[in-house]
Amino acid sequence: MMAVFVAEHNLAFQIMGHLPQFVNKITPDSNIAKKVKCSRTKMVNILRNVLGISYIEEIVDLLNANKFSLIIDESIDISLVKTLCLVVRVCKNFKVHDLFFDLIEVESADASSLFSAVINSFTKNNIMYKQNMIGFAADGANVMMSRNHSVSTLLKADINDLFVLKCVCHSFHLCASYACEKLPGEVEDLARNIFNYLKSSSKRLKDFSSLQYFFEFKANKILHPSQTRWLSLSAVVSRLIEQYDVLIAYFSIAVKEENLQTAKNILTSLKGPITKLYLLFLEFALPFFIKLNKLFQSESSQIHKLHSSVKEIVVTLLECFVRKDYITMFLDSTSEFNLPPECLLDLESIYLGIKVECFLITNEINVIEIDTFKNKCRNFYIEAVLQILKRFDLNNSFFRNLSIIAPDNQAFPNLVKLVFAILSFPHSSANVERVFSQVNLMKTKIRNRLENATIKACLQTKGLLKLQNSDCTNFKVTTEMRKKCNKAMYDIPK
């Protein structure tokens, strides 16, 4: 129970040098507490060779009795150790679960090495993967998804009829990235420059906070736009718009007091009406991608919603800049996405969000600048739809027909196994990234020598809690676990 407590809360193992004595000290009348002996060494071996092994035994039985999918990703931790994480999606107790399976140290990250690592992990644990593995998902990296030589092609050659899906969450990030390239780069530069200007000085942050209080604005921080996660730009943009008046006031003062060129450039950009127009448009447009991203980052199965959700967003985007009589034709077309000029709405008619419309009405802006702005926004829409359709075929009958397995639809009893198998198909690799987030909480600058086997044991212990739907306070220690707690647990090779 103490080992489960330490693993669940990512505590340092050195705590076991004091925890048993501490419990004994505050419960002096307990004979049980007096007999508890559990140092760091014993706890690590319990994690690795009792709880970890117990978890793997359950997972092996589960995977050999049910169809499952594999989701993988690779990462480099704080100590520069390269690891490959394996997560399985499988049905248990009439629910679909994403469960941690393995964390493998790898020397080379080429397709053949990663494929061998996956197969060796299955073989070592006696998993009948060729019979039961039906799906595979990973990010869109060439090593994972290249058509010529990748982990996916090697797996498809090894397993007949394997379903392969590139992570849709990564795809939506890329769609947003390519679409944003059609807008001026100054918008993202402004967000980054404001963040960098304020973060470099505690005095600047304090002065900005004082202005927020003066203007009766929420004391929210200016957010940092991620260079790898384009959808983070949406929250950044919303925060800039929220604090826009305060920012103008702050940089007006900063120009007078500090007289720095950076502050002058930021102020000039903020005062330009076109800058705010682009921010308002992004605040309207980016949430379309975020909606899909949040849906498919869910740990519950969303494979049956993939077609309808993507189609809904595509239709919404098309309605903003395409004549309605052409939209159905594009959705039904099996040819490459193409937009002839006659199908496009004129610049006056395209829809860019209610805030943009109101801003254009209440502010006098040069007509040429407005037309340039609207044209770039239309190019954003075109690129967004193009990128989505390049990654997802709306005419794919497999995805279109999956709506029959939605929970609110009835399925015949004899189709239950088929439905659960389909629900076990992956739709993203976000669950693997969650595992790496857990690893980063365990392996920190202070605990950078933590061995991979110990990290894996902690993850497996967390997996046991998930399988039991419990936490460290009500974890059920089984008879089999107790039997494993003996001197032999110290002799198992690490």
Q: What span, in angstroms and rounded, lies between the C-alpha atoms of 253 and 44?
A: 57
Q: CB of 70 within 8 A of CB of 133? A: yes
What's residue 168's pLDDT? 63
- The β-bridge partners of 137 are 71, 165
- The β-bridge partners of 166 are 138
Q: What span, in angstroms and rounded, lies between the C-alpha atoms of 377 and 388?
A: 17
What's residue 411's pLDDT? 55
When pLDDT is averaged across residues 403-415 and rounded to a whole number, the result is: 55
Q: CB of 288 within 8 A of CB of 294? A: no
When pLDDT is averaged across residues 280-287 and rounded to a whole number, the result is: 93
What's residue 173's pLDDT? 75
Q: What span, in angstroms and rounded, lies between the C-alpha atoms of 400 and 409?
A: 15
Task: Please determine, for residue 2, whether its predicted confidence score (pLDDT) is greater than 80.
Answer: yes
- Low-confidence winner among 30-34, 265-269, 380-384, 420-424 (lowest mean pLDDT): 420-424
Q: Token match 């248990």: residue? A: 92
Q: Token match 């059609």: residue? A: 182
Nearest to 293 by CA among 235, 242, 241: 235
**Number of neighbouring beta carbons within 10 Å of residue 59:** 24
Tell me the pLDDT tens digit for each residue of 46-76.
999 999 999 999 999 999 998 999 999 888 7
Q: What percent of the chain clears pLDDT 70, i.e. is strictly above it?
A: 86
What's residue 427's pLDDT? 63
What's residue 445's pLDDT? 78
What's residue 78's pLDDT? 58
382 band by pLDDT with thresholds 50, 70 and 90: very high
Most confident of 88-97, 135-144, 200-209, 370-379: 370-379
When pLDDT is averaged across residues 243-262 and rounded to a whole number, the result is: 92
Q: What number of helices (H) and strands (E) belong to the chain?
A: 25, 5
